[in-house]
Amino acid sequence: GININTVPVLDLYNEDKSSVIGNRAFSKNPKVVIKLSKYLINFYKKSGLETVIKHIPGHGCTNRDSHLVLPQVNFSLDYLKNNDFRTFKNVKNYLGMTAHILYKKIDPTRCATQSKKIINDVIRKYLNFRGLLMSDDICMKALSGGMIKNAKLTLDAGCNILLHCNGKIDQMKKLSLIVPETDNFTNKITQKIKANFYKFY
């Protein structure tokens, strides 16, 4: 009973041609990103579809592709709050997808997806994100240590949902053995999503 699309991209546009975000981004202007994202989310909700804001807290600040490597960002927390984090602070949604990015001035050892500090202090407290937090694909090369270790670190850091994209059933079976049953918070949010879905179908 849940139907979602993993949009909108709230990352700021990066003019570097090698940027993985590229034209998926609305603009390099945070105000434009916020306005268009709110419009898109509202449009989808009116059609009975849920959205996933990504890549929280911001992927536009790097030109590295997290499918291939772990991007590392050296910007200060103040800079990020005034730029890349700004769009996520102003857009509310039931679902958000994390960024596999190492923000070195905030947590020098763990990328956002696996960082308790970033999830608790930045995403949950500063950005006031109150929805379900979905990881980006845990099989991407930005994460090292193997699928099971990645899954455990991601859940332990505070993500509610693991995203596993390659469709390999043997890997899914292994993941099913370590993924806990949904908790009350996850159930509460998914019931709200389902209620919106059933208004239309």
The residue annotated as part of the active site, out of 136, 156, 170, 183, is 136
Spatial neighbors of 68 by CB under 8 A, at least 6 apart, are: 141, 142
Considering 65, 67, 137, 183, which one is annotated as catalytic? 67
Closest by Cα among 136, 70, 139, 134 to 107:
70
Active site residue 136: yes
Helix, coil or strand: residue 96? strand
Residue 11 annotated to the active site: no
Phi-psi sector, 95: left (phi>0), alpha (psi -120 to 50), beta: beta
Q: Judging by beta carbons within 10 Å of its beta carbon (0-12, 13-18, 19+), is residue 63 exposed, middle or buried?
A: middle
Point out the residues that are catalytic: 67, 136
